[in-house]
Amino acid sequence: MKIRNGFVSNSSSTSFVVCIPKNFVPSEEELDKLDCFCDVTDEIKKKFISKVIIGVEEIKDGGLYYSYDDGLMCDAISELCENNGFVLNEMNTGPDEGQLMGVDAERIKHIIDWKRDEN
């Protein structure tokens, strides 16, 4: 049995606010180690790694992904963001719910500091 804390890979009612620094490029080694790829063949993993790299670039430019469009890619990008501290907040919503959400300033500071460290 696999127990995972943090991101819920099969929940269509959880959304995440992420901020990926423009200069962040995930390494293939980092992508290869993601938990969401543990039950897939190497062939599928190789195909999805290139899609995830493209997806990360699209999200940096304000793109949006839905898990029902491509669940594995959404899981991979979510896990990658969580591993690097790029998740600003998460929200659970349903058909009868609405929320206002604040963002933790320390998480934003982490991303700004990460970007400075890279330069």
pLDDT tens for residues 16-40? 788 888 889 998 889 888 888 888 8
CA distances from 118 to 22, 23, 86 (A): 11, 8, 15
0.75 exceeded by the pTM?
no
Helix axes 42-60, 71-83, angle to 10 degrees: 70
- Which backbone phi and psi does 90 adopt, to 5 degrees? -135, 155
CB–CB of 55/31 below 8 Å? no
Confidence of residue 3 (pLDDT cuts 50, 70, 90): very low
Mean pLDDT, residues 95-115? 67
Residue 94, token pair as written in the block: 């349903």
* pLDDT computed for residue 4 by the predictor: 44
Domain boundaries, the chain: 15-92+99-118
